[in-house]
Amino acid sequence: MAHNERVFSGMQPTGSLHLGNYLGAMLQWIEWQKTRECIYCVVDLHAITVWQDPKELRTATRLVAASYIASGLDPKKSILFNQSQVTAHAELAWIFNCVARLGWLNRMTQFKEKAGKDREKASVGLYAYPNLMAADILAYHATHVPVGEDQKQHIELARDIAQKFNSDFKDSIVAHGHDDGVFFPLPEPVITGPATRVMSLRDGTKKMSKSDPSDLSRINLTDDAETIARKIRKAKTDPDALPSEPAGLKERPEAQNLVGIYAALTGKAVEDALGDVGGLAFSEFKARLADAAVAALEPVGAEIRRMMAEPDEIDRILIDGGTRARAVADPVMKQVREIIGFIGA
């Protein structure tokens, strides 16, 4: 049975969203919403793989939901909810813990980065996190997953899990009416945002990230115009002027990153962007970049602040989304239980 196209993606409520989330994923989400059935999630179960203060978690969950809406997500059209409301995620994640192999998880680069040197002290949840991510996607039989470059490996794992489940339970899947033996679709990563890997403003070799201790390393969607301009002024650069051709950005990670951001914000290809700014000194280029960033982000930040003043309204939207998400995931989970052989499914 061919699966209908359905989009699923999520972001962690572990602080304000930043320019990397926006250019790498969010803008694609908004594009997909125009033509497809989309489910967008604030992944609070993922967030608690590292310690979260309960009060801050609630605020961060609202902040991320407000950021989605301020960026253009329409909660009437798409389903917008926080993950913990739908128990299917945790239940299917457990089942996938029993499908995925240790060797597969041992290869996940993000766990190695996040756990750091003292791996023994990392939570079991941080290690099993990719199985939960596979469950997020597959509980809805989602087929397309718009994300930034850093999530590619996790989605490939979700495909492996879907495939192994389909093959382990093939006979049962057929017996339950799926004649082609395919229960879970193999989800596709969609990595086509205007900038799929935005780097830190302080170090062009490191990804822009919510967990970087330096706030100067990232532009948050909630930053005001002055803060955005200051962070760009302080961004690390090299001593040379900007090249006129993309080839001239090689071995210049900071220049490459800032030009990539400028191109993404102005909706241009890097080549065309360099047509505008090639030959400029960084000081002049940074002023243009700041203008472009403020023009794109200031209205988003203002809308986030407006929404955060009405937390009950955000909660109402999330709870409504939770009901709609359960209506999609519950029938899938009922079939999963039957296929596995659980009584009382």
Residues forming the site for ligand TYM (CB under 6 A):
8-12, 20-21, 24-25, 43, 46, 133, 136-137, 145, 147-148, 150-151, 154, 196-198, 207-208
Question: Cα angle at 107 between 127 and 11, to 5 degrees?
Answer: 55
**In the complex, least distance from residue 239 CB atom to ligand TYM, rounded to whole angstroms:** 25
Report DSSP state, residue 200: P
Q: The tokens 């960084």 sit on which residue?
A: 282
Q: Which is nearer to ligand TYM, 74 or 113 (CB)?
A: 113
**In the complex, least distance from residue 29 CB atom to ligand TYM, rounded to whole angstroms:** 9
164 catalytic residue (yes or no): no
121 catalytic residue (yes or no): no
Residue with the closest Cβ to ligand TYM?
24
Q: Which is nearer to ligand TYM, 100 or 133 (CB)?
A: 133
Q: Which is nearer to ligand TYM, 178 or 207 (CB)?
A: 207
| Partner residues linked to 79 by β-bridges | 39
By the 8 A CB rule, do 211 and 229 touch? Answer: no
**How far, in Å, are 40, 203, 228, 263 from residue 198 at the CA level?**
21, 11, 16, 12
Q: The tokens 């766990």 sit on which residue?
A: 111
Query: Phi, psi at residue 152, to the nearest 5°?
Result: -60, -45
From 117, 164, 210, 234, the catalytic residue: 210
Tokens standing for 71? Answer: 């960026």
**In the complex, least distance from residue 302 CB atom to ligand TYM, rounded to whole angstroms:** 22
Neighbours of 119 (CB within 10 A): 12
Q: Which is nearer to ligand TYM, 9 or 61 (CB)?
A: 9
Query: Phi, psi at residue 218, to the nearest 5°?
Result: -140, 155
Q: Which is nearer to ligand TYM, 78 or 151 (CB)?
A: 151
By the 8 A CB rule, do 135 and 92 touch? Answer: yes
**In the complex, least distance from residue 111 CB atom to ligand TYM, rounded to whole angstroms:** 11
From 112, 114, 164, 334, the catalytic residue: 114
Tokens standing for 327? Answer: 């209506």
From 34, 77, 206, 207, the catalytic residue: 207
**In the complex, least distance from residue 197 CB atom to ligand TYM, rounded to whole angstroms:** 5
**In the complex, least distance from residue 22 CB atom to ligand TYM, rounded to whole angstroms:** 8
Radius of gyration for the alpha carbons in the chain, expressed in angstroms and rounded: 21
Q: Which is nearer to ligand TYM, 21 or 143 (CB)?
A: 21
Counting Cα atoms < 13 Å in the Cβ hemisphere of 338 gives 13
Query: Which run of H or E residues covers position 51?
Result: none
Contacts of 314 (CB under 8 A, 6+ apart): 62, 65, 66, 307, 308
**How far, in Å, are 161, 181, 304 from residue 184 at the CA level?**
9, 9, 36
Distance CA 123, CA 201 (A): 30
By the 8 A CB rule, do 86 and 322 touch? Answer: yes
**In the complex, least distance from residue 135 CB atom to ligand TYM, rounded to whole angstroms:** 9
**How far, in Å, are 8, 46, 145, 164, 165 from residue 5 at the CA level?**
10, 25, 11, 21, 20
207 catalytic residue (yes or no): yes
Q: Which residues are catalytic?
A: 114, 207, 210
